Amino acid sequence: MKCKTILRHTLLSILVLIFVTFSVRGQNENNFEISKNLEIFISMFNELNKSYVDDINPGELMETGIESMLKTTDPYTVYIPESQVEDYRMITTGQYGGIGSLIHRNGEYVVISEPYEGYPAHNAGLKAGDRLLKINGEDMINKPSDEVSKFLKGQPGTSVSLLVERDGEDAPLEFEINRENITIKDIPHYGMLNEHIGYIKLTGFTQQAGNEVKKALMDLKSNNEVQGIILDLRNNGGGLLGEAVNITNIFVEKGQLVVSTKGKLKNKNQDHYTRYNAIDTKIPLLILINAHSASASEIVAGAIQDMDRGVVLGQRSFGKGLVQNVIPLSYNSQMKITVAKYYIPSGRCIQAVDYSMKDEDGYYTQIPDSLVNEFNTRNGRPVFDGGGIEPDICMKPRKFSQILTSLFSKFLIFDYATKYTLEHPSITSPEEFSISDSDFDDFVSFLADKDYDYTTRGEEKLSELKDAAIKEDYFEAIEPQYELLKQAMIHNKEEDLVTYKHEIKELLRMEIVSRYYFQEGRIRTALRHDPEIKQAIEILEDPLTYKSILNGTYSGEKAVSGDNKDKEQG
C-alpha cells in the first residue's frame, strides 16, 4: 500500500511539474494537447496500478508504454534503462568492464566464440568452443546469451569464476578470472597488401578512432614506400560524428566542410569543418563500402567522394543520414533521440527511409526516385541523395550457397574448427595456411551424423509457385508437372559439398585461422581471395585509371562482378 501511495504522489508531482513548466512557457495549442494527454496517461496508469485484478509490475508496464510510443518515430530513437547504460557506453567509447570475449548461443549452451587476444579470458586459458556451465556457481544451461553476458561483465578488478566444458577434456575446467577494463580496437588490422599498397580495416567510430587511423597511416608511411591506401569501411555501422570528421581530416586539409547537421532546434544546425593539419592530402586513397556501411562510415566515404579526394568502391551504403544525441533522464536512465539530419559537402543527405511517411500497410517508405536530387562533386561529377552513397566503382556483392549458409548458421564450421584445433597445436601464418583436400575430406566425415538440411533458392521459388497456383485455383491442373519438377530439384547435400567446395574451404580457413591468430588473423586470411581488394589494388596501381575516375572521364565497365574467379589454392 505504501508503494502505491508513493507511486501516486510521484506521478502527481510529475504532472504538477509539467503544468508549471507549460505555464512558464505559455499555453499554446500544442502544449495543451501534450498536457491533456499526459494527464490522461498518468490517471490511467494510476488506475491500472490500483484496480487491476492481478499484481502488475509498474516499471515493466511503463517501459512497454515508452517503447511502444517510440515505435512511432524512427528505429534510432530509443529508451535506455539504467540496466543498459553500460552497453551504450561501450558503443561510444569501445570500453567495458569484463573478461574480454565474444560469446554465442549454440543449442542449450552459451559458447566462447573468441577470446580477445591479450585480455583476461585469453590470458586465463579460455578457448573458442568452451561451453559455459556455471558462472559464480549459477547454472548457465539454457540461459540466453545476453543474460550470460551480464554475468561476465562487471567492475574492473572484480573476479568471476567459470566452470566450462571443453572437447577433449574428461572433466569440466574451472577458471578464476579478474575482470579488466576491455578496450575494443577500432582497427583490428592494418598492414601492407604488397610492396606499395597499404590497408587499414576500420570497424567502428569510438572516441579514439581518428587517432587510431592516424597512427596506422603514419606507421605504414614511415616503414614502407606507400603509394596508395585502402580504407576498409565495409560492415562498419558508424559511431561518433566527430570521429568521422577527424578521420576525413587525415586526408583533407584544415578548414574544409565535412558535414552539416540540420534539425528542428537552432542549436542542432551546425557545420563541422576539419580542424587540424592533414597527414597526407596527396596519397591515392580508396574507400571500401557495402550495404552495411552506415552513418559515420557514410560521412567519411561521402565527404571523400564529394571532395574528389579518393575513389569509393563496393556496394551502395546503408543510407542512414540521421544524427542522434544521448539525453540523460531521471534515475540514471537515458534516451537516444534523433535530433537532426546530416548533409555532406555537396549538399546531399543520404537518408534512405522517410520515417515521417508510411504506406497504406503501415510500413515506412523509401525515398521515391521522383524525389531524388542530383548534386555535384568538386570536379563536377554527378552524385545523388535519397539512399546511401553509391560507389564510383560498383561491384556486385558475393552470393553464398544455401549449404554454406546452413553450415555456418548451425555452427558446424565453428565446431569443426574446434576439433581441428585440438588435433593441430599450431599452423602456418594466415597468409600461408590452407585447407588441404584431406582436411576437407575430414570435414565431410565430421558432417556425416550432423543435421544441416536447407532449402535451395530453386526450392523456395518452386514453393512460391505452388502457393500462387493454389491461391489462383489452378494447382490441380499443373500438379503432375509440379511433382516432376520438385523431384528433379531435390538437392543432394553430398553433391553440394563438392559443387561449393571452394567457398566452404574459404570459410573453414578463416574460422580455423582465428583460433590461432584471433580477429586479426581472420581478416588477414580473408584478404587473400577478396575480389574487392583485388580490384582496389588494380585501381591504385594504375594512376591513369585512378585520376580518370576522379575527374569523371573514366570509361571502364561500371559494374564489375564480385564473384571470386580465383582458382582454389588448397
Cite the DSSP H helix spans in 26-110.
29-51, 58-70, 85-93
pLDDT digits (tens, 9 = 90+) for 131-164: 999 999 999 999 999 999 999 999 999 999 999 9
- Are 386 and 372 contacting, i.e. CB atoms less than 8 angstroms apart? yes
For 213-253, what is each residue's pLDDT tens digit?
A: 999 999 999 999 999 999 999 999 999 999 999 999 999 99
The superfamily (CATH) of domain 189-326+336-351+367-391 is: 2-enoyl-CoA Hydratase; Chain A, domain 1 (3.90.226.10)
C-alpha cell at position 296: 559515420
Gap between the Cα atoms of 128 and 151, Å rounded: 18
Q: How confident is the model at residue 336 (pLDDT cuts 50, 70, 90)?
A: very high
Confidence of residue 32 (pLDDT cuts 50, 70, 90): confident
Please give the distance of CA 116 from its chain centroid, rounded to a whole number.
18
Residues with Cβ < 8 Å from 211, sequence gap 6 or more? 246
Q: Phi-psi bin for 555: left (phi > 0), alpha (psi -120 to 50), beta?
A: alpha
Residue range 347-368: average pLDDT? 78
Contact predicate 221/277, CB 8 Å: no
- Residues 373, 515 contacting (CB under 8 angstroms): no
More confident call, 415 vs 61: 415
> At 29, is the pLDDT very low, low, confident or very high (cuts 50, 70, 90)?
low
Q: Give the pLDDT score at 331.
A: 86
Sign of CA dihedral 120, 125, 128, 129: negative
Confidence of residue 26 (pLDDT cuts 50, 70, 90): very low
Are the folds of 95-183 and 189-326+336-351+367-391 the same?
no
Task: Give the chain's mean pLDDT.
Answer: 89
* pLDDT for position 341: 94
Q: Model confidence over 481-517: pLDDT tens digits? A: 888 887 777 777 888 999 999 999 999 999 999 999 9
Label residue 2 by pLDDT band (50, 70, 90). Answer: very low
- The predicted pLDDT at position 569 comes to 37
Q: Residue 319 in contact with residue 351, Cβ under 8 Å? A: yes
Q: How far apart are CA 550 and CA 308, in angstroms?
A: 6
**Averaged over 279-300, what is the pLDDT?**
97
- Rounded Cα gap, residues 151 and 28, in angstroms: 49
pLDDT of residue 359: 66
Specify whether the backbone of 67 is left (phi greater than 0), alpha (psi in -120 to 50) or beta.
alpha
The pLDDT value recorded for residue 361 is 65
- Determine contact, residues 287/201, Cβ cutoff 8 Å: no
Compute, in degrees rounded to 10, the torsion defined by CA atoms 523, 526, 530, 534: 60
Residue indicated by cell numbers 574459404: 506
The burial class, CB within 10 Å (0-12 / 13-18 / 19+), for 68 is: exposed
The answer to whether the beta carbons of residues 184 and 204 sit under 8 Å apart is: yes
Supply the pLDDT for residue 91: 76
Domain 95-183 annotated CATH 2.30.42.10? yes
| pLDDT at res. 367 | 76
The rounded distance, in Å, linking the Cα atoms of 308 and 296 is 18
Give the pLDDT of residue 89. 77
d(CA 356, CA 373): 19
Enter the pTM of the model.
0.85
Q: Which residues pair with 272 in a beta bridge?
A: 259
Q: How far is CA 310 from the centre of its chain?
A: 24
The amino acid occupying position 502 is H
Distance of alpha carbon 318 from alpha carbon 301, whole angstroms: 12
Q: Which pLDDT value is given to residue 393?
A: 97
- Determine whether 18 is exposed, middle or buried from the number of CB atoms within 10 Å of its CB (0-12, 13-18, 19+): middle
**pLDDT value of position 6:** 45
Q: Which residues are catalytic?
A: 295, 306, 320
pLDDT of residue 16: 46
Kindly state the percentage of the chain with pLDDT values over 70: 91
- Is residue 209 within 8 Å of 239, Cβ to Cβ? yes
pLDDT level of residue 115 (50, 70, 90 thresholds)? very high
Q: How far apart are the first and last CA of the chain?
A: 72
Task: Please report, for the chain, the start and end positions of each structural domain, with discontinuous segments joined by +.
Answer: 2-56, 95-183, 189-326+336-351+367-391, 402-454+494-560, 457-490
pLDDT at 12 (0 to 100): 46
Average pLDDT rounded to a whole number, residues 31-53: 87
Give the least confident one: 45-59, 106-120, 479-493, 523-537. Answer: 479-493
pLDDT tens string 377-429? 999 999 999 889 999 999 999 889 999 999 999 999 999 999 999 999 999 99
Q: What pLDDT is stored for residue 566 in this prediction?
A: 42
Percent of the chain past pLDDT 90, that is, above it, reads 67
- 59 grid coordinates: 516499471
In this predicted structure, what is the pLDDT of residue 362?
A: 62
Higher pLDDT pick, 114 / 8: 114
Least confident stretch, 47-56, 187-196, 377-386? 47-56
Give the rounded distance of the alpha carbon of 330 from its chain centre: 30
Select from 172, 185, 113 the least CA-distant residue to 137.
Answer: 172
Q: Please answer whether residues 456 and 489 qualify as being in contact, where contact means their C-beta atoms are separated by less than 8 angstroms.
A: yes
Phi/psi region, residue 185 (left: phi>0; alpha: psi -120 to 50; beta: rest), is: beta
